[in-house]
Amino acid sequence: MNIAPSFHLRYIVELFLKSPKTKYHEIGFYFITSILESEIADGFRSLDGDSSYFWIPVDELASYPVLEHPIKEKVIQGAVLQHSNLEHLIARD
């Protein structure tokens, strides 16, 4: 990809998740950026080939089976762009 976006760290998220075999502690760093949708085509594959990425309208996000995650709610509520302060979020499964 030949894109040069600017990035702003907005959230540090800690997720504590359980599966039948183990427990996970995930630390995620989430950035605000502006990228033209045309720069990343629908169906873009991750480098490991395990994931595909698609643009979806924010008002449809609630209907997608995305892991329940504090960022999903922030995006749906429009809180992501309300201010630029760094937030540390913790979610437990």
CATH number of the domain residue 31 falls in: 3.90.79.10
Q: What is the dihedral of CA 66, 62, 89, 39, to 10 degrees?
A: 70
pLDDT of residue 88: 95
| Residue 88 falls inside a structural domain | yes
Domain count for the chain? 1
Q: Enumerate residues 6+ apart whose C-beta is below 8 A from 55.
A: 37, 40, 42
Question: What pLDDT sits at residue 29?
Answer: 92
2, amino acid identity? N
In a domain, 51, yes or no: yes
Residue 1 within any structural domain of the chain = no
pLDDT for the residue 89: 92
Mean pLDDT by 10 residues, the chain (93 residues): 74 88 89 77 75 82 78 84 88 83
Whole-structure pTM value:
0.69
